[in-house]
Amino acid sequence: MNPPILSGTSHFYALIGHPVDQVRSPIGFNTYLSSKNIDAAMIPFDLLPNAIVGFFDMLRGWENCLGCCVTIPHKNIAYDLIDEPRPRAQRIGAINIIKRAKSGKLIGDMTDGVGFIAALRLNGFSVTGKKIGLIGGGGAGSAIADAIAEHHAAQLSLIEIEENKSDMLLSKLQTQNPDLILENTISRPEEIDILINASPLGMSKNDPLPIDPYTFRSGIMIADSVTKPNFTPFLKSAKSNGCFIQKGNEMADAQLQIFLDFLGTPPENSHV
C-alpha cells in the first residue's frame, strides 16, 4: 500500500489513546481509504489524559476532520466531553467513536460490544442463553456487558477489581435487564460457556493472567480484547487447555465497517 499524498483538500480521522502503539484502526482505515482512492487518512494521537479537554476544543474547530476513534484510557472521559451521546453510549457511559458534524457538534457512540458479538458470531458462537464470565468493567467491559445483556445471555459473572465500578455496572445492568442473572464473581467456573478478558491485563510483558483458563472447562470459547500482543499469554493458556479462542484483533476488525458507516467517507476516487 502506497502512503497517501495529503493536501489541503484531504479529510482526516483522528484516533486518541495513551498509548497507541497497540491500535489497529489506523491500519484498517488507511488500507480501506487507499484501496478506494479516497482523499482522507486516519492519524493516531498518543494523547496524555491532561490534554484531552484541549483536544476536544480543537476537534470542534477542526473543519476537515470527520471524526475520531477513542481507546484506553479516554473512553469514559470522552463521554462527558461530547455534545450528543447515542442511546447505547448513554446506557454504557463511555464512547469509542465520535462523529464531527459540519457545525462542530460531536456525536458519540460505543461499538465495542457490537464488534465483540459480531466477531463471536463469525467464530460460530452466541451468548444467547449462555453463562458468561467477564473480566473487566471499564469502557470496553461495560460495552461488552451491555451487548451480552442485549443478546439475552442467561447469566453474567463479572470480575472487576474496582468495587465501585463493579457495583455501578451490575446495578445498571440489573435495572435495564431484570431477567439477567448477575454476580460480582465467577462462583462456578465449571458452568461458564464463554469467558472474556476485557481488562488491559496482557498488554504489558509482565502482566499476570487475568484468570487461569485451566479453572474452566476445555471446549468453551475464551476471548481477549487485548490487541497487542494479539496472541496473549491468556489465549495461549486457553488454547493449551483445549478451548476455542478469539483474539483482540477480531473484535477490532469487526468494527471497521461500523466506524466507516457512522463517520462517513469522502467520495471514492476523490484522491487526485
pLDDT at 154 over 70: yes
61, part of any domain? yes
Mean pLDDT of 253-270: 91
pLDDT at 183: 97
Question: For residue 270, is it within any domain?
Answer: no
pLDDT of residue 24: 87
| Shared-domain flag, residues 85 and 137 | no
Query: In terms of domains, do 125 and 135 share one?
Result: yes
Q: What is the pTM of this model?
A: 0.90
pLDDT of 266 > 70? The answer is yes
User: What pLDDT is attached to residue 271?
Assistant: 63
What is 211-260 written as a DSSP string?
S-GGGS-TTSEEEE---SSSS-HHHHHHHHTT-EEE-HHHHHHTTHHHHH
**21 and 72 in contact (C-beta within 8 Å)?**
no
Residues 119 and 147 in one domain: yes
For 23-70, give the DSSP string.
--HHHHHHHHHHHTT-SEEEEEEE--GGGHHHHHHHHHT-TTEEEEEE
In this structure, the answer to whether residues 121 and 98 fall within a common structural domain is no
Residue 177 is which amino acid?
Answer: N
Question: In this structure, what DSSP letter does residue 77 have?
Answer: H
How far apart, in Å, are the Cα atoms of 5 and each of 37, 40, 250, 269? 11, 9, 29, 13
Q: Which structural domain range is residue 149 located in?
A: 113-252
For 88-152, what is the HEC assignment?
A: HHHHHCCCCEEEECCCCCEEEECCHHHHHHHHHHHCCCCCCCCEEEEECCCHHHHHHHHHHHHCC
In-domain check, residue 170: yes
One-letter amino acid of 31: T
Question: Within this chain, do residues 63 and 142 fall inside the same structural domain, yes or no?
Answer: no
Residues 117 and 97 in one domain: no
Residues 128 and 175 in one domain: yes
Tell me what pLDDT residue 109 has: 98
Q: Is residue 202 part of a domain?
A: yes
Sign of the alpha-carbon dihedral angle for 109, 110, 116, 121: negative
Instruction: List, in order, residues 6 or more apart from 80 with CB less than 8 Å away.
Output: none
Residue 99: give its domain's CATH number.
Answer: 3.40.50.10860
Q: Which of 59, 64, 132, 114 is nearest to 256 (CA)?
A: 114
Residue 2 lies in a domain: no
Domain-embedded: residue 271:
no
Domain contains 156: yes
Looking at the structure, tell me whether residues 91 and 159 fall in a common domain. no
Instruction: Kindly state whether residue 5 falls inside one of the protein's structural domains.
Output: no
CATH number where 138 lies: 3.40.50.720
Domain count, the chain: 2
Residues 150 and 215 reside in one and the same domain = yes
- The pLDDT score that the predictor gives to residue 2 is 62
The terminus-to-terminus CA distance of the chain in angstroms comes to 16
Q: For the segment 27-73, what is each residue's pLDDT rounded down to a tens digit?
A: 999 999 999 999 999 999 999 999 999 999 999 999 999 999 999 99
Of all residues in the chain, what percent carry a pLDDT higher than 90? 93
Based on the fold, state whether residues 137 and 223 are members of the same structural domain.
yes
The pLDDT of residue 75 is above 60: yes
* In a shared domain, residues 90 and 145: no
Q: Are residues 123 and 247 in the same domain?
A: yes
